[in-house]
Amino acid sequence: PITVQDVRDVAAQLGITIAPKDEADFHVLLAALHEGAVALDALEDDVPVVDLERFPRVGGRFATPEENENGAWAYKVTIEAQPPIAGPLSGRTICIKDNITVAAIPCQLGTSVFTNWHPPTDATVVTRVLAAGGTIVGKAVCENFSMSGSSFTAASGPVQNPYAKGWTAGGSSSGCGYLVGSGEVDLGIGGDQGGSIRLPAAFCGLVGMKPTYGLVPYTGIVSLDASIDYTGPMTRTVLDNAVLLKVLAGTDGLDDRQMGAPTPELVPDYAELARHGHEFGVRGMRIGLLKEAFELPCVEPRMTEKVKLAALRFRELGAVVDEVSVPMHLLAPTLWGGMRQGMAEQSVLANQTGRRGVYLTDLPGLITPLTQDKWDKFSPISQNLLINNVYLKSHHPGQYGKAQNLFRALRRAYDGLLASYDVLITPTTPFVANTNPGPGDSILVKVAKSAGETLNTAPFNGTGHPAMNLPIGWLPALEVDMEDPDGSVMLPVGMQLVGKFWDEGTLYRAGAAWEKRWDWKTDGV
């Protein structure tokens, strides 16, 4: 089926012309490649096998409108071990972000570009939750291709904030934010490529942990950029978060992001470290308020005041709290802009190269080739990121590599402080949740809803440090509730705790000590 015209078409994609005298030779070579490609396509793939008898999928269905009034469910199904397993998650319900594969269950990625993807395998985190006795009760809505920090871009519609309908739940793990924040589900597993665990955690009053890069295997989860892919727990308490991370963490022998990570049996008992914080507080701990994190554009003065007051409370628990400085933190948004050249390469753009791991080989063909009809089904935020990607490749081809190099320098700067301090503190978000836009709002209005959200979260995706949101209190919304214009909408405030590589335990100890002393809902700052 390969002709000389195919050779010419490929050359045109490269922007070059092949000399007529060479076309026949390249035709022979391309035809030989095609024969090999057809042979490879015919081979059975090799992905982790799922024991559907031990872990049956029961009652799978799309949620009814009555069940999904707040837009958080992507799919409902019950999965638990048969016979039941007694483990650390026994009796707990768990929702899974809908970019995490669950065999034989639809995975939608918050898009309508395709509607028929049923992955052939379970993500490692799914396997581990079930082996720990947990009960998965469904897939939680994921924002459009995991590309939004707000909660209005999923094809299924907006996800609501559990404390104020009409306000954002944050993204892209928006469904987990609502379902766990409302108490409908006990625990959630989100994904984070710039703040997508910590943003919804901050907006929905949750503890959300982005672990150290590579601590939790990303096997079987749709990637945006393998250098910034993370998955982790979203819970209502620090102790629950610690229990779930212990279940999820450790190498699986499949994900090459996990260089330097411990094997599961060597993962610390995070729950014990959290209990240590409950019992003994943080006496002797050194905590640094990162000065530049409060000076970035978009950080509201009232947010600065709130987070600093919450951080200073650690002094009452026996810690030293100082203001510290990393001037390069102010450059992090510029570095993050360069990372846009790599966004969605392995998923939307189907460039599945350069990694050793489990590839989701049936997904790219559902998205590519990109057509106008498919493009029109992307959210404006996803469209913008793809335009950014292509533009940077064409006009600034070294941006991505330079951003990666400079993130290494930024890591050294943070590490320099963390040699003397146990925890660094920033606001998680510059502001509290804002309202979801209307369907008729302009692209700029929609993009503006997320502008600045990741100023203090994305840097730690780039450097790899563990970072956790801790809810600390409330602030009134700046926007008016049109259904109750005389009322005052109160929304959660989050404080971000950042630690040394592989030292999630210290973050849990600090967070648990704060949480034990003050209930953020009733006596937070």
Whether residues 341 and 430 fall in one domain? yes
Number of domains in the chain: 2
Q: Above 80 in pLDDT, residue 480?
A: no
Q: What is the pLDDT of residue 492?
A: 98
The closest alpha carbon to 316, from 510, 503, 150, belongs to: 510
Alpha-carbon 74 to chain mean position = 16
How many CB atoms sit inside 10 A of residue 87's CB? 17
Instruction: State the pLDDT confidence band at 147, using cuts at 50, 70 and 90.
Output: very high
Q: pLDDT band at 486, cuts 50/70/90?
A: low
**pLDDT score for 407:** 97
| Domain assignment of residue 273, given as a range | 57-517
Q: Find how far residue 91's CA is from the centre of its chain.
A: 26
Residues 349 and 407 both lie in one domain: yes
pLDDT at 487: 65
Active site residue 442: no
Same domain, 181 and 90: yes
* pLDDT tens figures, 400-444: 999 999 999 999 999 999 999 999 999 999 999 999 999 999 999
Are 22 and 132 within one domain? no
Residue at 185 is within a domain: yes
Q: Which two tokens stand for residue 23?
A: 């076309």
Nearest to 334 by CA among 295, 296, 279: 296
Q: Where are the beta strands (DSSP E) in 304-427?
A: 320-324, 423-427
On whether both 77 and 216 belong to a single domain, the answer is yes
pTM attached to this predicted model? 0.96
Is 196 catalytic? The answer is yes
- Among the options 76, 97, 500, 516, which is catalytic? 97
10 Å CB burial of residue 320 (0-12, 13-18, 19+) is: middle
Query: In this predicted model, what pLDDT tens digit does every residue of 42-54 receive, in sequence order?
Result: 999 999 999 999 9
**Predicted pLDDT at 485:** 66
- In this structure, is residue 128 part of a structural domain? yes
> In this structure, are 28 and 157 located in the same domain?
no
Judged against a pLDDT cut of 70, whether residue 484 lies above it is answered with no
Kindly state whether residue 50 falls inside one of the protein's structural domains. Answer: no
* Alpha-carbon distances of 187 from 276, 291, 443, 498, 521, rounded to whole Å: 22, 33, 34, 22, 19
Q: What is the CATH number of the domain that holds 171?
A: 3.90.1300.10
Instruction: Say if 49 falls within a structural domain.
Output: no
Indicate if the pLDDT at residue 483 is higher than 70.
no
User: Residue 308's pLDDT is what?
Assistant: 98
3-state secondary structure of 494: strand
Asked whether residue 118 falls in the same domain as residue 265, the answer is: yes
Tell me, yes or no, whether 68 lies in a domain: yes
Residues β-bridged to residue 424: 288, 498
Point out the catalytic residue in the list 148, 150, 172, 382: 172
Do both 12 and 140 map to the same domain?
A: no
* Digit-coded pLDDT (tens) for 359-382: 999 999 999 999 999 999 999 999
Shared-domain flag, residues 193 and 241: yes
Given this model, what pLDDT does residue 355 score? Answer: 87
**pLDDT tens across 5-37, in order?**
999 999 999 999 999 999 999 999 999 999 999
Catalytic residue, candidates 196, 223, 227, 379: 196
225 lies in the same domain as 362: yes
In the prediction, which pLDDT does 285 show?
Answer: 98
172 given a catalytic annotation: yes
Q: Mean pLDDT in the chain?
A: 95
Residue 239 is assigned to a structural domain of this protein:
yes
93: CB partners within 8 A, 6+ apart: 134, 135, 136, 137, 185, 186, 187
Whether residue 385 is contained in a domain is answered as yes
Query: pLDDT tens digits, residue range 293-351?
Result: 999 989 999 999 999 999 999 999 999 999 999 999 999 999 998 888 787 776 777 77
pLDDT reported for residue 479: 83
Task: Please report whether residue 503 resides in a domain.
Answer: yes
Q: Are residues 238 and 294 in the same domain?
A: yes
**Bridge-partner residues for 161, per DSSP?**
164
Same domain? 171 vs 287 = yes
